[in-house]
A and B are shown apart, each in its own frame.
Chain A
């Protein structure tokens, strides 16, 4: 069974503080993603990575950094947390896109971040 685990599952952070969200996958997948979800909205891509030691900007990268130290681990870093970054964050992994097999995504349980 494919598995993506996130930590912490919830966190309250102070404005201006540093927050690190961690993601670990045991799927042996090359691709990993960080999304945020806001109430009433779909998921928006923050950063993604298709190989260790390399990350790519998604659609809303401002205010976020990402780190992919190994194939299994992918972190999202908020250097200076702001109120607008209060959201639920999801990590996902997928296999490389090959023909019709595509990018079936496997998601973690989400990390609820509240910035006060």
Chain B
């Protein structure tokens, strides 16, 4: 089965609203990372967050290893936040593979 489940699959917000994106993992994890991707674009790391809470501007990531989940909170969304957000994890079983979720497509409208 899928090791990484992301929700929601897609999300539409009005500018200024907050967003909460979730990732759940079916296995233990060694580390995890959030990426942002513009349509047709490359992936840019948003957070490397193996555990705990990290904040950068309007973005906050919280990873709870024991519960095998991570979240990405976007406050006061802006049109430029639109795109796809993917989470990725390195399983705790060892090795060097990085496994990705299917992503959350975010559309922020005026």
Q: What residues of chain A have their CB less than 8 Å away from a CB belonging to chain B?
A: 31, 33, 35, 40-45, 48, 50, 58-59, 88, 90, 92, 94, 97, 100, 102-110
Binding site for A on B (CB under 8 A): 4, 6, 30-31, 33, 35, 40-45, 48, 50, 86, 88, 90, 96-103
Total A-B residue contacts, Cβ distance less than 8 Å: 70
> Given the interface contacts A90-B42, A90-B43, A100-B50, does A105 sit within 8 Å of B98 by beta carbon?
yes
User: How many Å lie between the Cα of A92 and that of B88 in the bound state?
Assistant: 13
Question: Does A45 lie within 8 Å of B88, measured CB to CB?
Answer: no
Question: What B residues does A104 contact at CB under 8 A?
Answer: 33, 45, 48
Bound Cα distance A103, B49 (Å): 11
If A42-B102, A48-B96 touch, whether A97 touches B31 (CB-CB below 8 Å) is yes
Chain B residue at minimal CB-CB distance from A31: B96
Check B45–A100 contact: CB distance below 8 A: no
Cross-chain contact A45 with B96 (CB below 8 angstroms): no
Please report the C-alpha to C-alpha distance between residue A110 and residue B41 in the assembled complex, in whole angstroms. Answer: 7
Known interface pairs A48-B96, A48-B97, A100-B31. Does A105 touch B102 (Cβ–Cβ under 8 Å)?
no
